[in-house]
């Protein structure tokens, strides 16, 4: 079932001035309920703008955004309800922490929803367990946390609103591999346990290949490809033309295939590649 | 927020854009003096034509310029009304029970004209055609002589440059923080004043933190490149007066001289004395 549908969306910054920039040009996208959808694209391809349209932070210059089949701009006064439904974690969310303790910061969203204190407590506990924040950290100031911990606290602030759709803009940017894995693990956990739809924006093909069910490739303010990982990564040439790469392991398998080795060139995770190669050597894996 | 381009610099290709920033500061000052020297109707006609000429030469759309006048319209209307009803002299004119004088009309019109020319003059020469960085550079060199009396001109200019440089960055940052807090359901438009003031905390705290962080990073980056202030520093873009700078200054001085001459020989309120009212 389609959770979010974008219909012929265009978005123009500063229209009518010399600074006019078209960020999105006639974009149509379907995001299926319960999937993890990845949006990949070069810097300036319109990814971040697209993501901000999903929860009504920006209003499209033309076109419609449908969440659960209803146009979110039908009742502009109730746009904040959409924002609770579609939780957006912006880039570098740790810079938005403002409360004295992590706990209070996580409570900001639920409090804006008008929940009672008992429910808020429950949500804080739930959200912090999803992202793997220890209880003792909750009473600390954001200044006392490491970069990775701050990032997770900020994500917990969105998860505490229990959004139907969790949208994350570059959630792993600037983190070390361990911090990155922890973030992705908590995202997958949230999806698996709540059945929520997840949208992730990223540059890293490896991460996207590992995480996502569906991929949307953007270039020059347009959607150029949309499909599952296998479909998208089979267009290696086209991806390279727009300045994107394919996962290293796919590159390797394609090379092998080119050299005449009988393997599937469309493999995009290391795990699949191992079993594919094991087949070749007739080893049980 | 993206619509606010600070300093309102309007990129275009015109001779005014290409003038040396120091020249533009001088021209702006000369133009202000001109508008105050104007007294006669001929003088003001010349001022109006000069305004139109400058707007045309600068290639800045009239719409943009009108937008800059908009905020002071209330002040201008207020000023015009005061002049209209309080200034006495010349021919009397009574409509119902209100009496106004021709001199009142004249001063009302001219004072509004003066304010408009002030805004257009400074606007076109300083904000629309000069980037803030060029402007501080120009001001620094223009006031370089103050170094002799131990005023740290370079340091002030550097502070101003940094401040100007960071305004767009901080605006962008503010924009992002507002979006992020809105994404968590923050509401900045509804509720009582106290509630709305409180709603600013989630924006101001992260903004201050990030401003201090940026200042810190910038200080370290400058230190790394051995920045030690203005002593013995050379410039990447050396400002040089060119022929167009001298020509434009000459034109303005001639214009000012012309206005002064008109004042000396001209008649102040020609139509009043001729009884045109």
Nearest-CB residue to A19 (from B5, B177, B206): B5
Cross-chain residue pair A157–B187, CB shorter than 8 Å: no
Cβ distance B184 to A163 under 8 Å?
A: no
Mean pLDDT (chain B, rounded): 84
Phi, psi of A185 (to 5 degrees): -60, -45
Cα–Cα dist A91/B144, whole Å? 44
Cα–Cα dist B10/A45, whole Å? 26
- A-B CB pairs within 8 A amount to 63
Nearest-CB residue to A112 (from B3, B5, B185): B185
Please write the tens of the pLDDT for every residue from B228-264: 877 777 878 788 888 899 999 999 999 999 888 888 7
Going by pLDDT thresholds of 50, 70 and 90, the confidence category of residue B266 is low
C-alpha torsion sign, points A199, A204, A205, A208 = negative
SS3 for A197?
strand
Cross-chain residue pair A158–B3, CB shorter than 8 Å: no
Nearest-CB residue to A112 (from B10, B184, B206): B184
CA distances to A182, A189, B172 from A155, in Å: 12, 13, 22
Cross-chain residue pair A98–B206, CB shorter than 8 Å: yes
Alpha helices in chain B (DSSP H): 15-18, 21-37, 41-58, 62-69, 73-86, 102-122, 132-142, 153-183, 193-198, 201-224, 243-265, 270-273
Give B117→chain A minimum CA distance, Å: 24
Cross-chain residue pair A158–B184, CB shorter than 8 Å: yes
Give A62→chain B minimum CA distance, Å: 18
Nearest Cα to Cα of residue A191 among A41, A35, A32, A20: A35
Per-residue pLDDT at A46: 87
| Residue of chain B whose alpha carbon sits nearest to that of A160 | B184
Q: Which residues of chain B neighbour A113 with C-beta distances below 8 Å?
A: 185
Give B180→chain A minimum CA distance, Å: 6
Hey, what are B105's tokens?
């009309």
Cα–Cα dist A75/A55, whole Å? 13
In terms of phi and psi (left: phi > 0; alpha: psi -120 to 50; beta: otherwise), the region of A63 is left
According to the per-residue pLDDT averaged within each range, which of A122-131, B76-85, B156-165 is highest?
A: A122-131
| Residue of chain A whose alpha carbon sits nearest to that of B186 | A112
Going by pLDDT thresholds of 50, 70 and 90, the confidence category of residue B161 is confident
Residue spans of chain A under pLDDT 70:
284-285
Asked whether the predicted pLDDT for residue B275 surpasses 60, the reply is: no
Phi, psi of B31 (to 5 degrees): -70, -35
Phi, psi of A268 (to 5 degrees): -130, 5
Cα–Cα dist B186/B201, whole Å? 11
Residues comprising chain A, all counted: 285
Please write the tens of the pLDDT for every residue from A31-50: 999 999 999 988 888 888 99
Cross-chain residue pair A108–B183, CB shorter than 8 Å: no
Q: What ranges make up the beta strands (E) of chain A?
A: 2-13, 21-32, 36-41, 62-67, 70-71, 86-89, 165-169, 197-202, 214-219, 222-228
Q: Which residues of chain A neighbour B182 with C-beta distances below 8 Å?
A: 57, 80, 83
Cα–Cα dist A52/B179, whole Å? 9
Residue showing tokens 């954001």: A142
Cross-chain residue pair A112–B179, CB shorter than 8 Å: no
Cross-chain residue pair A87–B180, CB shorter than 8 Å: no
Cross-chain residue pair A96–B180, CB shorter than 8 Å: yes
Mutation site for A-interface testing, chosen from B68, B181, B183, B209 by largest number of A Cβ within 10 Å: B183
Per-residue pLDDT at B7: 54
**Per-position DSSP letters for B87-117, written without gaps between them:** ---SSEEEETTEEEEHHHHHHHHHHHHHHHH
Asked whether the predicted pLDDT for residue B167 surpasses 90, the reply is: no
Nearest Cα to Cα of residue B175 among A53, A21, A157, A96: A96
Per-residue pLDDT at B274: 46
| Residue of chain A whose alpha carbon sits nearest to that of B64 | A17
Please check whether residue B63 touches A, CB under 8 A.
Answer: no
CA distances to B27, B42, B54, B130 from B20, in Å: 11, 31, 16, 9
Per-residue pLDDT at A285: 60
Please check whether residue B11 touches A, CB under 8 A.
Answer: yes
Q: Which residues of chain A neighbour B5 with C-beta distances below 8 Å?
A: 14, 17, 19
SS3 for A228?
strand
Cross-chain residue pair A112–B186, CB shorter than 8 Å: yes
C-alpha torsion sign, points B96, B102, B103, B107 = positive
Burial B115-136 (b: 16+ CB within 10 A, else e): bbbbbbbbbbbbbbbbebbbbb
Q: Which CATH class is domain A2-238?
A: alpha beta
The mean pLDDT value for B162-169 works out to 83
Residues of chain B above pLDDT 90, percent:
24
The mean pLDDT value for B178-204 works out to 87
Give A245→chain B minimum CA distance, Å: 29
- Residues A161, A165, A171, CA angle at the centre, nearest 5°? 85
Per-residue pLDDT at B4: 43
Cβ distance A23 to A46 under 8 Å?
A: yes
Cβ distance B83 to B111 under 8 Å?
A: yes
Q: Which residues of chain B neighbour A161 with C-beta distances below 8 Å?
A: 184-185
**Per-position DSSP letters for A11-70, written without gaps between them:** EEESTTSTT-EEEEEEEEEEEETT-EEEEEE-TTSSHHHHHHHHTTSS--SEEEEEETTE
DSSP state of B71: G
Cβ distance A150 to A179 under 8 Å?
A: no
Domain residue limits, chain A: 2-238, 247-285
Mutation site for B-interface testing, chosen from A98, A158, A160 by largest number of B Cβ within 10 Å: A98
Give B127→chain A minimum CA distance, Å: 16
Residues 182-211 of B with CB under 8 A from A: 182-187, 201-202, 205-206, 209-210
Cα–Cα dist A105/A157, whole Å? 7
Per-residue pLDDT at A167: 95
């Amino acid at each position: 079932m389609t959770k979010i549908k974008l219909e012929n969306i265009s978005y123009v910054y500063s229209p009518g001035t010399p600074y006019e920039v078209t960020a999105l040009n006639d974009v149509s996208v379907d995001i299926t309920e319960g999937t993890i959808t990845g949006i990949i694209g070069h810097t300036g391809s319109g990814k971040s703008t697209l993501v901000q349209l999903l929860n009504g932070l920006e209003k499209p210059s033309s076109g419609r955004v449908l969440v659960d089949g209803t146009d979110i701009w039908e009742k502009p006064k109730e746009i904040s309800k959409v924002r609770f439904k579609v939780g957006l974690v912006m880039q570098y969310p740790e810079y938005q922490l403002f409360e004295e303790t992590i706990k209070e910061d996580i409570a900001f969203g639920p409090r804006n929803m008008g929940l009672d204190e008992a429910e808020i407590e429950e949500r804080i506990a739930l959200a912090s367990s999803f992202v793997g924040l220890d209880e003792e950290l909750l009473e600390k100031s954001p200044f006392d946390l490491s970069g990775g911990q701050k990032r997770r606290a900020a994500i917990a602030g969105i998860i505490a609103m229990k959004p139907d759709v969790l949208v994350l803009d570059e959630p792993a940017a600037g983190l070390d591999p361990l911090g990155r894995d922890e973030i992705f693990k908590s995202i997958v956990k949230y999806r698996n346990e709540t059945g929520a739809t997840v949208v992730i924006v990223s540059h890293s093909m490896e991460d996207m290949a590992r995480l996502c069910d569906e991929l949307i490739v953007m270039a020059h303010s347009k959607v150029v490809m949309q499909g599952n990982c296998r479909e998208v990564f089979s267009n290696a040439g086209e991806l390279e033309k727009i300045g994107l790469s394919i996962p290293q392991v796919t590159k390797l398998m394609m090379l092998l295939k080119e050299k005449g080795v009988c393997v599937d060139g469309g493999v995009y995770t290391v795990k699949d590649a191992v079993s594919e190669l094991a087949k070749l050597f007739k080893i049980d894996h | 927020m993206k619509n606010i381009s600070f300093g309102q610099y309007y990129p275009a290709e015109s001779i005014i854009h290409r003038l040396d920033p120091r020249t533009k500061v001088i021209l702006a000052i000369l133009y202000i003096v001109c508008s105050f020297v104007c007294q006669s109707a001929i003088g003001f006609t010349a001022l109006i034509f000069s305004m139109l000429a400058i707007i045309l030469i600068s290639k800045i759309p009239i719409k943009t310029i009108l937008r800059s006048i908009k905020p002071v319209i209330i002040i201008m209307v207020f000023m015009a009304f005061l002049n209209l009803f309080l200034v006495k002299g010349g021919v009397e004119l009574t409509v119902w029970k209100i009496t106004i004088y021709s001199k009142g009309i004249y001063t009302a019109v001219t004072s509004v004209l003066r304010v408009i020319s002030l805004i257009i003059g400074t606007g076109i020469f300083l904000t629309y055609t000069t980037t803030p960085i060029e402007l501080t550079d120009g001001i620094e060199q223009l006031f370089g002589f103050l170094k002799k009396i131990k005023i740290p001109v370079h340091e002030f200019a550097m502070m101003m440059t940094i401040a100007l440089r960071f305004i767009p960055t901080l605006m962008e940052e503010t924009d992002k923080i507002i979006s992020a807090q809105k994404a968590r359901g923050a509401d900045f438009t509804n509720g009582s004043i106290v509630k709305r003031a409180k709603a600013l905390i989630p924006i101001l705290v992260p903004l201050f933190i990030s401003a201090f962080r940026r200042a810190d990073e910038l200080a370290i980056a400058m230190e790394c490149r051995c920045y030690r202030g203005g002593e013995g520093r050379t410039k990447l873009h050396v400002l040089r007066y060119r022929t167009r700078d001298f020509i434009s200054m000459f034109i303005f001085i001639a214009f000012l001289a012309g206005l002064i001459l008109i004042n000396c020989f001209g008649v102040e309120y020609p139509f009043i004395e001729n009884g045109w009212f």
